[in-house]
Amino acid sequence: MGSVTEQLREGLPAEAVLTDPDVLRGYARDMAGFCPAGTPAAVVLPRTVEQVRHVMRTATATRTPVVPQGARTGLSGAANAADGCIVLSLVRMDRILEISAVDRIAVVEPGVVNADLSRAVAEVGLTYPPDPSSWEECTIGGNIGTASGGLCCVKYGVTAEYVLGLDVVLADGRLLSTGRRTAKGVAGYDLTRLFVGSEGTLGVVVRAVLALRPTPPGQLVLAAEFPSPEAACDAVCRIMAGDGRGGPGHTPALLELMDRTTLRAVNDLTRMGLPETTGALLLAAFDTPDPAADLASVAALCRDAGATEVVPADSPAESALLLQARRSALVALEKVKGATMIDDVCVPRSRLAEMLTGVEAIAGRHGLTIGVCAHAGDGNTHPTVCFDASDADESARARASFDEIMALGLRLGGTITGEHGVGLLKKEWLARELGPLNLELQRGVKQVFDPLNLLNPGKLF
């Protein structure tokens, strides 16, 4: 029997198996810092389900670990290679197999880019709502692996709510189909949901049936300036709960927050002229039949919460510009010091102000720049620690602050990850959040699907 690479090549085209050292280094890691990455034995880029099955049969026969990958835009180290593993990159499985306007579904391969799917379904008057900030690069398979969210989650929900069915290649090469194409279905355990967010540890997704929605009216966005993040968070609570005088709460299409540090970073990167002197900027958008009326109501709530300036966008173009500023936030913060650690702590909306003030205190204690942008409508914060990776002391303080932020989130009744996943970065914290019994049962599930521990070993647990 030949080497792992030789056995892989027996069932794959020559161009699908890469072993050049420079190429291997390029596939070694995702975008997370502070996460170790090894050197794979080979990178495989299959185009068919049968080719994926051959990879997994070879891995089982040779007891070789397999690390599934998408576009490597993840932020937790979940796609990082292990020494001697097979990196299974699914980016060439990028076909949209079906779009049904009647059933309101799309059937896609895992390498389809999120934005490409959105553009394709828009041609038939439908939309795929999950829209991570990296939507122009990230793949549907990666979105499923990490249960991605996005800017519009407050109204439309996250990836898990749109995955109806999956085809999954298991560790031994068997092909499993889960879920359905129908709008309803409760037959048996929900294995589809089990795979969503499993970060490639249970199987390799090779096909997904996704729910679609009718395209909503165009969004209009309101920008509100606040003297402090606390005042902005007060506005968030008022928007979601109502005015306290019997007025109903609102369900905006998005409700996003950027603090002063983030605003300055975005301005430095984009030269957009955002208000740097304000304590926080809140963006609220509506795609209702009368968005102007909804924005007027929200504007009043923002002023009640202490907004110093409230500016509704006059047009979809102006709205898109404001949203682009928010989508640029994480990239902009990377430029501050050259390296970042991006937390992904989600707390109850009622505790959002405590989360932001706590992060500010942590930054002060460690002498660090920490910018916060947030899907405020969900309570999902992204405190981003900016540091100089070449400075050992500053790097250590960055790591310590990162851990303190996660501990703060748990104290406030939150979770260590709202949408980025666990990967390598948050393994210890996952154990703290879940507790011994929960962790034992989850490891048992992993054992059922992957008894040899070949799929993405060392991630999550």
SS (H, E, C) the chain: CCCHHHHHHHCCCHHHEECCHHHHHHCCCCCCCCCCCCCCCEEECCCCHHHHHHHHHHHHHHCCCEEEECCCCCCCCCCCCCCCCEEEECCCCCCEEEEECCCCEEEECCCCEHHHHHHHHHCCCEECCCCCCCCCCCEHHHHHHHCCCCCCHHHHCCHHHHEEEEEEECCCCCEEEEECCCCCCCCCCCHHHHHCCCCCCCCEEEEEEEECEECCCCCEEEEEEECCHHHHHHHHHHHHHCCCCCCCCCCCCEEEEEEHHHHHHHHHHHCCCCCCCCCEEEEEEECCCCHHHHHHHHHHHHHHCCCCEEEECCCHHHHHHHHHHHHCHHHHHHHHHCEEEECEEECCHHHHHHHHHHHHHHHHHHCCEEEEEEEHHHCEEEEEEEECCCCHHHHHHHHHHHHHHHHHHHHCCCECECCCCCCCCCHHHHHHHHCHHHHHHHHHHHHHHCCCCCECCCCCC
For residue 356, give every residue at least 6 positions away whose Cβ sits within 8 Å of its Cβ, in sequence order, or none: 229, 230, 233, 259, 372, 374, 381
Domain of 237, CATH number, reads 3.40.462.10
Q: How large is the average pLDDT for residues 262-274? A: 91
For residue 411, give every residue at least 6 positions away whose Cβ sits within 8 Å of its Cβ, in sequence order, or none: none
For tokens 């002060």, what's the residue?
Answer: 364
Question: What number of other Cβ atoms are within 10 A of residue 346's Cβ?
Answer: 23
User: Could you tell me if residue 452 is inside a domain?
Assistant: no
User: Could you tell me if residue 103 is inside a domain?
Assistant: yes
Q: How large is the average pLDDT for residues 77-97? A: 98
Q: Could you tell me the pTM of the whole model?
A: 0.94
pLDDT in tens, 50-59: 999 999 999 9
Q: How large is the average pLDDT for residues 87-109? A: 98
Sign of dihedral through CA atoms 91, 325, 299, 360?
positive
* Residues 176 and 257 placed together within one structural domain of the fold: no
- Can you give the pLDDT at residue 316? 82
* Residues 364 and 238 placed together within one structural domain of the fold: yes
Q: How large is the average pLDDT for residues 64-74? A: 97
* Residues 250 and 345 placed together within one structural domain of the fold: yes
User: Is 329 in contact with 265 (CB distance < 8 Å)?
Assistant: yes
- Can you give the pLDDT at residue 6? 96
User: Could you tell me if residue 355 is inside a domain?
Assistant: yes
For tokens 């040899």, what's the residue?
Answer: 452
SS (H, E, C) 416-459: CECCCCCCCCCHHHHHHHHCHHHHHHHHHHHHHHCCCCCECCCC
* Residues 256 and 322 placed together within one structural domain of the fold: yes
User: Is 248 in contact with 295 (CB distance < 8 Å)?
Assistant: no
* Residues 39 and 110 placed together within one structural domain of the fold: no
> Where a domain ends, among 73, 89, 105?
89
Q: How large is the average pLDDT for residues 103-110? A: 98
Is residue 1 very low, low, confident or very high in pLDDT (cuts 50, 70, 90)? low
382 forms beta bridges with: 373
Domain of 83, CATH number, reads 3.30.43.10
- Can you give the pLDDT at residue 154? 92
Number of domains in the chain: 3
β-strands 126-127, 213-214 pairing: antiparallel
- Can you give the pLDDT at residue 276? 84
User: Could you tell me if residue 27 is inside a domain?
Assistant: yes
The domain in which residue 135 lies consists of 96-214
> Where a domain ends, among 40, 73, 89?
89
User: Could you tell me if residue 266 is inside a domain?
Assistant: yes
- Can you give the pLDDT at residue 242? 76
* Residues 66 and 169 placed together within one structural domain of the fold: no
Domain of 123, CATH number, reads 3.30.465.10
* Residues 124 and 235 placed together within one structural domain of the fold: no
263 forms beta bridges with: none
User: Could you tell me if residue 360 is inside a domain?
Assistant: yes
- Can you give the pLDDT at residue 325? 87
* Residues 161 and 207 placed together within one structural domain of the fold: yes
* Residues 321 and 380 placed together within one structural domain of the fold: yes
Q: How large is the average pLDDT for residues 15-34? A: 94
User: Is 165 in contact with 177 (CB distance < 8 Å)?
Assistant: yes
For residue 275, give every residue at least 6 positions away whose Cβ sits within 8 Å of its Cβ, in sequence order, or none: 225, 263, 281, 309
- Reply yes or no on whether the pLDDT at 245 is more than 80: no
Q: What is the mean pLDDT of the chain?
A: 95
pLDDT in tens, 285-341: 999 998 889 999 999 999 999 999 999 887 888 888 888 889 899 899 999 998 899
Is residue 243 very low, low, confident or very high in pLDDT (cuts 50, 70, 90)? low
- Reply yes or no on whether the pLDDT at 249 is more than 70: yes
pLDDT in tens, 109-168: 999 999 999 999 999 999 999 989 888 999 999 999 999 998 888 999 999 999 999 999
* Residues 83 and 110 placed together within one structural domain of the fold: no
- Can you give the pLDDT at residue 244? 59
User: Could you tell me if residue 188 is inside a domain?
Assistant: yes
> Where a domain ends, among 173, 190, 214?
214
* Residues 333 and 407 placed together within one structural domain of the fold: yes
* Residues 119 and 48 placed together within one structural domain of the fold: no
User: Is 370 in contact with 398 (CB distance < 8 Å)?
Assistant: no
β-strands 175-179, 163-169 pairing: antiparallel
